Amino acid sequence: MPSSPVDDRILNDGSRLPPIGLGTFSMTGPSGVDDVVDGIEQGYRLLDTAHAYGNEAEVGEAMRRSPVPRSELTVTSKLRGRDHGYDDAIRSVRDSVERLGVDRIDPHLVHWPNPRVGRFVEAWRALVQLRDDGLVRSIGVSNFTEDHLRRVIDATGVIPAVNQIEIHPAFPQEEMVRVDAELGIATQAWSPLGNDRPMLDHPVLVSLAERHGRTTAQVVLRWHLQRGLVPIPRSRSHARRAENLGVFDFVLTDEDMRAIARLARSDGRLFGGDPDTHEDM
């Protein structure tokens, strides 16, 4: 099977996004710093954190401790729901920059729309201003539906560079991936492995992994890449992190891709996090 490297994604603002990221949720304290440093040394160049994760300081410390220059690292953080007011959002992002210990954050995202509160457009206006001020390189959203996207675009004329949403074989989000692509928005996938088990034990994935001489996790991550997505797997295991990077030298066939797509379920969400109703404060 021929090799198939995946280039960085070019965002709609001209900046670049590495093709796979390291999720850092739950990587806190000294062990969290060690995990992130190890991930960077293994080859991860996109680090994904959030105010709500409570580990921006650890991610920043890992970046400083790593031998890899800051210019080669992309760090994403996210605005929590309680900070959606314009002034609150400005303050919150500035605090995130300080906790990370960086001059600017690369993509900064609105973490959830919290539509019942109804202030996500204010939050977006704040991110636009922070981008114009140079404190944030790229701006985007997370868990936004088509309606949420069109509301922020209509209000500001600014299209998000990124939409980070839940995607895995049980919940492939084909319609939202299509919407993002039509709008010129890069789609990132959180929980791309579907919380690992039992998804990774599915007989279809096991069969594909055996045929390609890969692990089921590698097959799923390759599926994301071939869909044009940026998966952000998380693991506290050195071996698993290395495994998750071993996805650039094989190719799934069209039938492989269709077989994985057939694993979609109507109840595929991991925890019922419907962006139209979920509130994240």
Known catalytic residues are 53
Q: Tokens 């760090």 — which residue? A: 75
CA distance 106 to 113: 20
Is 20 within 8 Å of 49 (Cβ atoms)?
A: no
Rg (CA), the chain: 18
Kindly tell me the sign of the dihedral angle through the C-alpha atoms of 17, 19, 24, 30: negative
Question: How far is 206 from 116, CA to CA, in rounded Å?
Answer: 41
Give which of 55, 56, 95, 49 is closest to 190, Cα–Cα: 49
User: Judging by beta carbons within 10 Å of its beta carbon (0-12, 13-18, 19+), is residue 185 exposed, middle or buried?
Assistant: buried
SS3 state at 150? helix
Distance CA 233, CA 20 (A): 8
What is the Cα–Cα distance from 250 to 2, expressed in whole angstroms?
6
CA 191 – CA 137 distance, rounded (Å) = 25
* b/e per residue 27-39 (b: at least 16 CB within 10 A): bbeeebbbbbbbb
